[in-house]
Amino acid sequence: MFQPDEKGFYGQYGGAYIPEMLIPNIEELKSCYLKIMESESFLSEYKKLFTDFAGRPSPLFKAERLSAKYGANIWLKREDLNHTGSHKLNNTIGQILIAREMGRTRIIAETGAGQHGVATATVCALMNMQCVVYMGETDIERQAPNVARMRMLGAEVRPALSGNRTLKDATNEALRDWIANPTDTFYIIGSVVGPHPYPDMVARLQAIISAEMKQQLKEKCGSELPDYVIACVGGGSNAAGSFYHFIDDASVKLIGAEAAGLGLDSGETAASIARGEPGVIHGSLTYLMQDDDGQIIEPYSISAGLDYPGVGPLHSYLMESGRATYLPVTDKEALEAALELTRMEGIIPALESAHALAILSKLNFKKSDRVVVTVSGRGDKDMKCYMDYFKLTDK
Amino acid sequence: MIMNNNINNALKGQKQITMNRLNKLFQEKKDLLSIYFTAGYPQLNDTMTVLTALQDAGIDFVEIGLPFSDPLADGPVIQQSSNLALKNGMSLNRIFEQLGDMRKTITMPVTFMGYINPVLKFGIEKFVKLCAKTGIDGLIIPDLPFEIYIEKYKELFDDNGISNIFLITPQTPEERVRMLDENSSSFLYMVSSAAVTGAKKGISEVQTDYFRRIKDMKLKTPKVVGFGISDRESYQRVCNYSEGAIIGSAFVKMLGQSQNLKSDIKEFIATIK
Ligand SMILES: Cc1ncc(COP(=O)(O)O)c(C=O)c1O
């Protein structure tokens, strides 16, 4: 298992580089998140919501045709079947219980693909809390179905109008909101990013993914350890959750798929590990795409959920220590992998998850290898993009 | 920074004499007026023009904003000025070029306000040394929290006679205010309310309660109030509880609309002081 030190550092990465205005909130959260998460009442409610509300455990599905094609035993961890359509709900269920325990009544969140926004709006409806979601204007357009869902759930969606108007900018606005509303508001961050203790808190909440994988592999294959675990990395929460319980098992190869956009050297990319270097974004020291003057470079990916110039600090650490490997996947490779999964296994994945699937064609497997790919979400929100790209509309 | 202790102390003593414009100012004057403006705004080469005009208009010290792409403690006005300054080509290298001879004419204390990432990328040791060489007196880096500063950079700042300026907010617990006070070498930046930067109308009772609470703590360090101060009235109100005020967004907004920087700056300051 991997955990930061008490100041929130994974090696040199992480920490809490935040303005004084956020210190009281972060200190309070830091002092109570573990206590709350380990309490009886939290654990029992969390388990109940996981099974009865979210529909967990999410299945582990043997993809027979993909297995035949790639010459290995390929298993899919079906986070797309989680309620609201992605792994994001695992995190928001946990954080809203923490927020409630801390007496907060107003919830804010940032969202890229809209999946985290929907997952946050969902738990706010469930817990009767006010919900404001910041979303870049570009993403509001390209992920319209999720905007509608958030609104139906009663959330207010506020457009972020700075930068490229994507996930980074939405996160800036959410942090500014938190600065302006320090007493009643809880910020539910959607990935393993932000100041300590968020990366650790979110990783722990997503760790259910690998905990279930272990048990399911044991039941289905007799051994709880796979040879590969593959997940996409935006901020890196579904990857952190997929890796979490395998960190100490050196035989398990951990692979993260980064969004290369139009290509690593195209200038239009979101591959923060391949094209970044250590820097501070949203309160955390981590790999960051920045120019020679230390200004943050606007990222690009077709996938709104991966369109972020930084990455969770634990991934910077896992990369540097060599424990995990991060590979770039272009828009085109992801789109083709999405169609392949759809036509071969009957599952339409989210564009984000399609990046993880595209890794299958990049690795050389042995026939006996057990490979688990996390399908972090379903593709409903991306239908417009798929229909345009694959020309599925009738003329 | 691995230096013989004697040399180290000698240097510190020397810097006390030469670099202490802020302390001297706080000893000598009250009701200080400070202005924030963004370097390289509205035009790339306006930095020295604005700085000189501010000194001529009679302000007491200045805060020069180092533009950053993602300034998360700033509201829309300063965000926009930062974006434009970056488009104009502003960078840390440029600012040091522009201000290289500043101390030939500028006698008031000058501080920088900027975010940590460009500084880390530039090299923080090189940055602090260049600040000292240029005649910068203090640094305000909102996203460099106290704890990391003390652990990693305090020695560097001290060795170069650069004062690190901490923020306090209405939510800062008393104990922490005391700790920041103990560790301050020039002034404490008192954020006027829970908000990012941006001009607001008036000072509320909740705010004056907070100012009074801090005033009653009888801190050793002078306090200057910033964020949301925009006009003579708010400036005078906060001076009842502090040693001065900083006006940022209201001034930057004026710069953005100005046809004649020199005369507009003079006029703006005349409406405050
Ligand atoms: C389906 C899906 N997968 C992955 C991600 C990327 O987030 P993370 O890297 O935190 O798992 C998102 C984010 O919006 C998403 O919606």
Dump pLDDT digits (tens) for B156-203. 999 999 999 999 999 999 999 999 999 999 999 999 999 999 977 789
The question of ipTM being above 0.85 is answered as yes
- CA of A195, closest CA in chain B: separation in Å? 11
Q: Residue B80: which domain range?
A: 20-272
Residue B8 lies in a domain: no
Looking at residue B7, what is its pLDDT? 47
CB contact under 8 A, B142 and A7: no
Looking at residue B249, what is its pLDDT? 97
Confirm if A232 and A356 have CB atoms less than 8 A apart: yes
Asked if the model's pLDDT at residue B6 lies above 80, the reply is no
Q: Coil, strand, or helix at residue A331?
A: helix
Strands of the A130-136 sheet, one edge to the other: A156-160, A130-136, A106-111, A185-187
Asked if the model's pLDDT at residue B5 lies above 60, the reply is no
Looking at residue B8, what is its pLDDT? 47
Residue B5 lies in a domain: no
Residue B6 lies in a domain: no
Written in H, E and C, the secondary structure of B141-185 is CCCCCHHHHHHHHHHHHHHCCCEECCEECCCCCHHHHHHHHHCCC
Asked if the model's pLDDT at residue B14 lies above 50, the reply is no
- CA of A161, closest CA in chain B: separation in Å? 10
Around ligand 1, the residues with Cβ closer than 6 Å are A 86, 112-113, 115-116, 191, 232-239, 305-306, 350, 352-353, 376-377
Measured CA to CA, the distance from residue A214 to residue A19 in angstroms comes to 40
Specify the residue for token string 């997952």.
A119
Measured CA to CA, the distance from residue A352 to residue A86 in angstroms comes to 10
CATH for A55-85+206-390, among 3.40.50.1000, 3.40.50.150, 3.40.50.720, 3.40.50.1100? 3.40.50.1100
CB contact under 8 A, B196 and A176: yes
Distances (CA, A) of A72 to A63, A369, A371, B45, B158: 10, 5, 7, 62, 60
Q: What is the dihedral of CA B81, B198, A22, B171, to 10 degrees?
A: 160
Computed over every residue of chain A, the mean pLDDT equals 97
Asked if the model's pLDDT at residue B19 lies above 90, the reply is no
Looking at residue A2, what is its pLDDT? 76
Residue of A22, A187, A293 to mutate for B, most B C-beta atoms under 10 A: A293
Q: Which residues of B touch A18 (CB under 8 A)?
A: 143, 145
Residue of A23, A181, A183, A285 to mutate for B, most B C-beta atoms under 10 A: A23
Residue B52 lies in a domain: yes
Nearest neighbour of A179 by CB, restricted to B93, B145, B195: B195
Measured CA to CA, the distance from residue A338 to residue A361 in angstroms comes to 13
User: Which sign does the torsion angle of CA B226, B228, B234, B237 carry?
Assistant: negative
Residue B15 lies in a domain: no
Asked if the model's pLDDT at residue B2 lies above 70, the reply is no
CB contact under 8 A, B69 and A172: no
Residue B143 lies in a domain: yes
- CA of B271, closest CA in chain A: separation in Å? 29
Identify each DSSP E strand in B39-168 by its residue range.
61-65, 110-113, 138-140, 163-164, 167-168
Low-confidence ranges of chain A (pLDDT < 50): none
* pLDDT over 70, % of chain A: 99
Give the residue-averaged pLDDT of B126-141.
98
Please name the residue whose Cα sits nearest to atom 10 of ligand 1.
A237
Specify the residue for token string 């990046």.
A355
Query: Using CB atoms and an 8 Å cut-off, which of residues 159-178 of chain A contact chain B?
Result: 162-163, 168, 172, 175-176
Give me the phi and psi of B119, to 5 degrees please: -70, -45
Nearest neighbour of B70 by CB, restricted to A172, A180, A183: A172
Catalytic residue flag (residue A277): no
CATH 3.40.50.1100 in chain A, residue ranges: 16-49+88-201, 55-85+206-390
Computed over every residue of chain B, the mean pLDDT equals 93
Q: Could you tell me which of A391, A18, A357 has the C-alpha nearest to residue A193? A: A18
Looking at residue B10, what is its pLDDT? 46
pLDDT in tens, A86-133: 999 999 999 999 999 999 999 999 999 999 999 999 999 999 999 999
Strands of the A13-14 sheet, one edge to the other: A9-10, A13-14, A284-288, A277-281
Please name the residue whose Cα sits nearest to atom 5 of ligand 1.
A305
Looking at residue A264, what is its pLDDT? 98
How many domains does chain B contain in total? 1
Measured CA to CA, the distance from residue B262 to residue B56 in angstroms comes to 9
Q: Cα angle at B122 between A6 and A272, to 5 degrees?
A: 60
Q: Which fold has domain A16-49+88-201?
A: Rossmann fold (3.40.50)
Please name the residue whose Cα sits nearest to atom 15 of ligand 1.
A305
Nearest atom within ligand 1 for CA of residue A167: 14
Taking each helix axis from N to C terminus, what angle separates B261-272 and B232-239, rounded to the nearest 10 degrees? 50
Looking at residue A394, what is its pLDDT? 74
The active-site residue out of B31, B46, B60, B63 is B63
Measured CA to CA, the distance from residue A19 to residue A280 in angstroms comes to 13
Looking at residue A163, what is its pLDDT? 86
Looking at residue B201, what is its pLDDT? 79
CB contact under 8 A, A280 and B168: no
The active-site residue out of A67, A86, A110, A301 is A110
Longest dimension (CA), chain B: 54
Contact status of B122 with chain A (Cβ, < 8 Å): yes
